[in-house]
Amino acid sequence: MNTADLGLPVDVPSTALFTDQYEFTMLQAALKAGTAERRSVFEVFTRRLPEGRRYGVVAGTGRVLDAVENFRFDAGVLGFLREQHIVDEPTLQWLSRYRFSGDIWGYPEGEVYFPGSPIIRVEGTFAECVLLETVILSILNHDSAIAAAASRMSAAAGGRRLIEMGARRTHELSAVAAARAAYVGGFDSTSDLAAGFRYAIPTVGTSAHAFTLLHDSERGAFQAQVDSLGRGTTLLVDTYDVAEAVRTAVDIAGPELGAVRIDSGDLLLVAHRVRQQLDELGAVDTKIVVTSDLDEYAIASLAAAPVDAYGVGTQLVTGSGHPTCSMVYKLVARARSTDPGAPLEPVAKKSLGGKMSVGGRKWAARRLDAEGIAEAEVVGVGEVPAELAERQLLVELVKGGDVVAREPLDAARARHTAAREGLPMSAIQLSRGEAVIPTEYV
């Protein structure tokens, strides 16, 4: 399904102005110089992973495809560019006809990546490709950061359910994208209804402390909630006294009580006490959900606790300390002339300070060991070695301007689970370290 066609409130009329002004500066100058139509190849990659991370997660690819399709210069957008004197009239005329007509290849959403991985490759004329830089990086840097944090939390949770609850901790539109990325990374549901509506992510939610405080007694609040939502609801038990609240909850809902939520205190200690109390009261099937500023380390510390689900907000939607992936969008090859048949020539920035780039239109493959576990990310230019031909990572996403690889979000989620399982076991360790496999250039 093309979500851009839904006409949802979280959409915008065009993605064309999700662009830094210098893209238009370069476009205008290239049009005047006669170089704008040179065939070009841009690649998205990162030179390093965030400190301590062992792998990255590709997320946002589906949103990139929507953004490219919706990159249009309508009358309002053109009027703004004209009034603000951003570009000259010939450039405005060119923009009025803009439709991306090139090809895009990339790692499929949910796949893992490493330093130097050509995560996205955009091919077309310089003019049509250069304009997409900012919007592509904006989406991929944000979504991949959230997905990486979600993946680490998912690994730490060890199969226990994860609820994304970060909508109140980020921009309202970022919250929708964050819920989507978290789902790709292994979360099971979200509290954000816009994300549920737009992407069909399962949604959950019961009540906050305000609901308990509204009523004259905790018993009255619990009774009202059970009367409305049924015995399978989740009751928040830490507004006043946890032990008394658990007794009241089971007294009202009986052993069919769905779950209790704990949002404060020593979660490890309180979870053990609540589990013992629930079992003694006969509510052996009642689940325990914990929230309260969790991250992957807090989740891991609760591995021995009788917890059934975690609700995560702030740390998830801010990338658990790494809100961006430092991805860049660089020109790696271009034709010497505007002749469609002119061969591509590798180009690369020469720079000190860790900003070196490798030129050339690249392929990528993952080499496996005898047990089928990844041992290296191999990146090269030219012919792919025969032994790696079946292990190539890039897939065609856009062909001749048409999206050819849109897929359900569950496919990306399943792909990530498989990709992470194909890495060495040290990939999911929370201790600091380098990328779990090296990147080799051939």
What whole-number distance in Å separates Cα of residue 139 and Cα of residue 83?
A: 28
What SS3 string covers 89-150? HHHHHHHHCCCCCCEEEECCCCCEECCCCCCEEEEEEHHHHHCCHHHHHHHHHHHHHHHHHH
147-161, 172-186, 248-262, 336-350: segment of lowest average pLDDT: 336-350
CA 198, 200, 202, 204 torsion: positive or negative?
Answer: positive
Structure tokens given for 313: 């907000």
**413-425: average pLDDT:** 98
* Phi, psi of 238, deg, nearest 5: -115, 25
- Give 195-221 pLDDT, tens digit per residue: 999 999 999 998 999 999 999 999 999
**Which CATH number describes the domain made up of 3-131+326-441?**
3.20.140.10
Q: Which CATH number fits domain 146-321: 3.30.200.20, 3.20.20.70, 3.90.1150.170, 3.40.1050.10?
A: 3.20.20.70
* pLDDT reading at 11 higher than 90: no
What is the pLDDT at residue 323?
96
Question: Between the CA of residue 383 and those of 5, 361, 392, what are the distances in Å?
Answer: 39, 11, 12
Q: Can you point out the beta strands (E) in 308-422? A: 309-312, 327-335, 344-346, 362-368, 374-381, 395-399, 402-403
Structure tokens given for 312: 């995560």
Under DSSP, is residue 394 helix (H, G, I), strand (E, B) or coil? coil
Q: Are 151 and 125 in contact (CB under 8 A)?
A: no
* pLDDT reading at 161 higher than 70: yes
* pLDDT reading at 10 higher than 70: no
Split at pLDDT 50, 70, 90, the class of 7 is: very low
* Phi, psi of 100, deg, nearest 5: -65, 125
Spatial neighbors of 431 by CB under 8 A, at least 6 apart, are none
Each domain of the chain, given as residue ranges in start order, spans 3-131+326-441, 146-321
CA 341, 345, 346, 348 torsion: positive or negative?
Answer: negative
What is the pLDDT at residue 44?
98
What is the pLDDT at residue 97?
97
The number of C-alpha atoms within 13 Å of 366 and in the hemisphere containing its C-beta is 20
* pLDDT reading at 2 higher than 60: no
| Buried b or exposed e, range 390-406, using 16+ CB within 10 angstroms | eeebbeebbeeeebebe
* pLDDT reading at 5 higher than 60: no
Split at pLDDT 50, 70, 90, the class of 349 is: confident
What type of residue is 289? V
- Give 31-75 pLDDT, tens digit per residue: 999 999 999 999 999 999 999 899 999 999 999 999 999 999 999
* Phi, psi of 11, deg, nearest 5: -80, 165
What is the pLDDT at residue 350?
81
Under DSSP, is residue 253 helix (H, G, I), strand (E, B) or coil? helix
What type of residue is 250? V
* pLDDT reading at 4 higher than 60: no
| Buried b or exposed e, range 46-60, using 16+ CB within 10 angstroms | beebbeebbbbbbbb
Mean pLDDT for the chain overall: 95
- Give 364-377 pLDDT, tens digit per residue: 999 999 999 999 99
